[in-house]
Amino acid sequence: MIYFDYNATTPLCQVAKSAWLSSSDSFWYNTSSPYREAARARAQLEETRDRLASLLRIESERLVFNSGATEGNNTVFAAAAESAGPKAVVLVSSIEHPSVIASARKYFPEGVIEIPVGSHGVVDLELIEQRISLSQVALISVMAANNETGVLQPWQRIAGLCRGAGVPFHCDASQWFGKLDASLFDRCDYVTGCAHKFCGPKGIGFLATSKTASCPPLMLGGEQENGRRGGTENLPGVAAMVSSLEACDDLRKGSAEVQAELRTALESEISDRIPDTRIVGRESKRLWNTVSLIMPHSANGRWVSRLNGLGFAVSTGSACASGKAGPSHVLNAMGIGPEAAARSLRVSGGWETPECDWLALAQAMVKVHHELSSSDLPNGGAHVISV
């Protein structure tokens, strides 16, 4: 199986596996227990927190370990609601992950203002500038990189605007960490990340807060994480997560440009050999590993299963979205209608995806294009629909 669904989740890398096993062997004690061995586990937890803080270039006290980005995103909106007045609103981009949108709607049922994106998939910065001066903005939430299209958002600019206006800013950076520079987030009030997007284990993540951001616990009933998240800490998970982020950071320094070229080569090949394929967000800055495509014919499920039969794993969109009925809210926000969205595919590679795999995928897609286009129409011609 050649895996091209890294934005959904990633395989555990060797350094993460070793860190998990070694921490499980040596530091399996409950960090809250009163004997020496538990104190060593506690020290190991804090050393690991320091390593993550140094990657993010923030103070260690600002980091809370949790179960992943969904929990982090929920925690942020719960925190914003706790200190917000009754008329408060939140500004949320229309392409956020469902865990952001659902949390915003739960905690601010009357006060969610969705900020649209243009057809290139980038959030409307001008609109944020206008809306930020609304009297009761409790929080602005814009992701760093979109999970479906890979399009990068101007989150650093928005963080600056928020600082100037005294409005808390949340950035879901789940797709950024492990792929791009982790050390740029010091001006955000809340940042969420999760290990399974960068070759760490599932079910472990972190929330970074600014010194001034309020962050009451979502998980009650324990004083762990300085009273900010109840529940016995998953120390092996934390050790594995931080080791995998360090490893990705090293890879990033060596090979980001090379990887981006491999992705671009796939795009060129597909554009040349499968006419009328649209590459979503092509004009925008994107993650080096992601291609979102609108194929010229045939439902995306048929592409996925044919490609699977040829030994490739690609996705129809986000993993979370694919289980639910209806087209992607991200493509919809970019003005792509449901008929075209039903032909969308997402290809996302990893740091170690070799050139030959990208080339083999392009060839397989061309093969599937020929098979499907001749099976779709009795005359054997491609059923081309422009988007």
Q: Which residue is nearest to ligand PLP (CB)?
A: 68
Q: How far is CA 15 from CA 29, 43, 246, 255, 275, in A?
A: 22, 20, 9, 18, 42
Interface mask (CB under 6 A) for ligand PLP, residues 309-338, using x and -? Answer: -----------x------------------
Of 197 and 228, the one with the shorter C-beta distance to ligand PLP is 197
Q: Does residue 174 belong to the site contacting ligand PLP (CB under 6 A)?
A: yes
Q: Does residue 175 belong to the site contacting ligand PLP (CB under 6 A)?
A: yes
Q: Does residue 348 belong to the site contacting ligand PLP (CB under 6 A)?
A: no
Long-range contacts (CB closer than 8 Å, 24 or more residues apart) made by 31-36 = 31/224, 31/232, 31/233, 31/235, 32/223, 32/224, 32/232
Q: Which of 13, 215, 248, 320 is catalytic?
A: 320
Please, what is the angle between helix 235-273 and helix 14-26, to 10°? 170
Q: Where are the alpha helices (DSSP H) in 27-135?
A: 36-56, 69-82, 98-107, 125-131
Of 224 and 318, the one with the shorter C-beta distance to ligand PLP is 318
Residues pairing with 209 in the sheet: 190
Active site residue 171: no
Site for ligand PLP in 53-72 (CB under 6 A): 68-70
Looking at 15, 81, 194, 266, which residue binds ligand PLP (CB under 6 A)?
Answer: 194
**Nearest distance from C-beta of residue 296 to ligand PLP, angstroms:** 27
Q: Does residue 150 belong to the site contacting ligand PLP (CB under 6 A)?
A: no
**Nearest distance from C-beta of residue 173 to ligand PLP, angstroms:** 8
Tokens encoding 100: 């952001």
Of 172 and 357, the one with the shorter C-beta distance to ligand PLP is 172
Phi, psi of 129 (to 5 degrees): -60, -40
For the chain, the first-to-last Cα distance in angstroms comes to 31
**Nearest distance from C-beta of residue 142 to ligand PLP, angstroms:** 11
**Nearest distance from C-beta of residue 7 to ligand PLP, angstroms:** 6
Looking at 121, 168, 205, 349, which residue binds ligand PLP (CB under 6 A)?
Answer: 205
Residues pairing with 2 in the sheet: 312
Phi, psi of 21 (to 5 degrees): -65, -45
Tokens encoding 178: 């492990």
What is the spatial distance between Cα 77 and Cα 83, in angstroms, rounded to a whole number? 10
Looking at 23, 42, 93, 172, which residue binds ligand PLP (CB under 6 A)?
Answer: 172
Closest CA to 234 of 64, 12, 371, 374: 64
> Cα dihedral sign for 217, 223, 227, 228?
negative
**Of all helices (H) and strands (E), which one includes residue 148?**
none
Q: How many residues bind ligand PLP (CB under 6 A)?
A: 13
Q: Does residue 99 belong to the site contacting ligand PLP (CB under 6 A)?
A: yes
Active site residues: 320
Q: Which residues bind ligand PLP (CB under 6 A)?
A: 68-70, 97, 99, 143, 147, 172, 174-175, 194, 205, 320
